[in-house]
């Protein structure tokens, strides 16, 4: 479970540090975020996420967020190992052209869950599948997230400080390439704490697509 938005212990998990930022991003917004991240961390690499049992579908370390999302044909999430340049876990192999990282072991993992276009009823995916038959119902753009959690007690003081510094830099790259999502629900209540990319906002404004969140929550810009 990845909860909280700031670098603070969560009461139910004493000693844990967390970040969780809700996002609405199109692939071009993801690319802008990745580019900004590389300005700070040129060696940043993303791990793809493959469906199926561990070992049957090995994952790969990619040189870009876009390549990691594209691996397997229908990416919905990718992962960034911290500290940046951490050595590979045994279940991960290198994609073509990616240099072998030789840093310390992985101490935390940032998840970027992709925003996805869905259809009601049932919230069925309609992204990333050209043969998908859209059911009747209204389309909406479901939020993704940028999230990480680690235990200060488990990683040690020096690594903890490195993770704090690098996680702040990752969040700063997101803030630099997105804007606060100014949205409201059908009752006019505002949702705070989410970020939206310029391309995603332009799409929502041009098409009138509602923005979705967990469950049946729907929001419009304004």
* Residue 133 pLDDT: 54
Which of the two residues, 129 and 101, has the higher pLDDT score?
A: 101
Whether 222 and 182 have beta carbons less than 8 Å apart is answered as yes
Using alpha carbons, select from 190, 55, 40, 29 the residue that is nearest to residue 112.
Answer: 29
Average pLDDT over residues 194-198: 98
Q: Is the dihedral angle over the CA atoms 42, 169, 34, 149 positive or is it negative?
A: positive
**Residue 149 bridge partners (DSSP):** 18
* Residue 10 pLDDT: 33
Q: Is the dihedral angle over the CA atoms 58, 59, 62, 66 positive or is it negative?
A: positive
| 27 Cβ contact list (under 8 Å, min separation 6) | 66, 69
Give SS3 for 159: helix
Mean confidence (pLDDT) of the chain: 86
Average pLDDT over residues 21-41: 97
Whether the model pTM is above 0.75: yes
Which of the two residues, 6 and 133, has the higher pLDDT score?
A: 133
Q: Which helix (H) or strand (E) holds 190?
A: strand 190-191
CA distances, 125 to each of 56, 114, 209 (Å) = 24, 12, 15
Name residue, tokens 């404004």.
Answer: 205
| pLDDT tops 90 at residue 123 | no
| pLDDT tops 60 at residue 1 | no
**Percentage helix, strand, coil for the chain under 3-state DSSP, each rounded to 5:** 25, 30, 45
Average pLDDT over residues 94-107: 96
Which of the two residues, 137 and 71, has the higher pLDDT score?
A: 71
* Residue 2 pLDDT: 36
- The Cα–Cα gap between 197 and 182 comes to 12
- Residue 34's pLDDT band (boundaries 50, 70, 90)? very high
């Amino acid at each position: 479970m990845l909860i909280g938005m700031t670098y603070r212990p969560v009461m139910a998990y004493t000693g844990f540090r967390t970040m969780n930022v809700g996002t609405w991003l199109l692939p071009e917004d993801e690319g802008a975020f990745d580019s900004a991240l590389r300005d700070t961390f040129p060696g940043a690499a993303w791990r793809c996420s493959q469906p199926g049992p561990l070992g049957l579908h090995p994952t790969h370390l990619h040189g870009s967020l876009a390549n990691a999302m594209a691996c397997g044909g229908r990416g919905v999430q990718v992962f960034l190992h911290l500290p940046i340049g951490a050595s590979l876990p045994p279940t991960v192999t290198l994609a073509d052209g990616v240099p072998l990282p030789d840093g310390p072991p992985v101490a935390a993992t940032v998840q970027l869950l992709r925003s996805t276009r869905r259809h009601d009823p049932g919230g069925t995916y309609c992204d990333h599948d050209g043969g998908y038959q859209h059911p009747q119902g209204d389309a909406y753009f479901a939020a993704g997230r940028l999230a990480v959690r680690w235990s200060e007690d488990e990683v040690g003081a020096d690594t903890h400080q490195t993770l704090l510094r690098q996680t702040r830099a990752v969040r700063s790259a997101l803030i630099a390439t997105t804007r606060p999502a100014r949205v409201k629900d059908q009752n006019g209540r505002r949702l705070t704490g989410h970020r939206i990319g310029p391309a995603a906002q332009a799409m929502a404004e041009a098409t009138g697509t509602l923005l979705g969140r967990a469950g049946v929550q729907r929001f419009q810009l304004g």
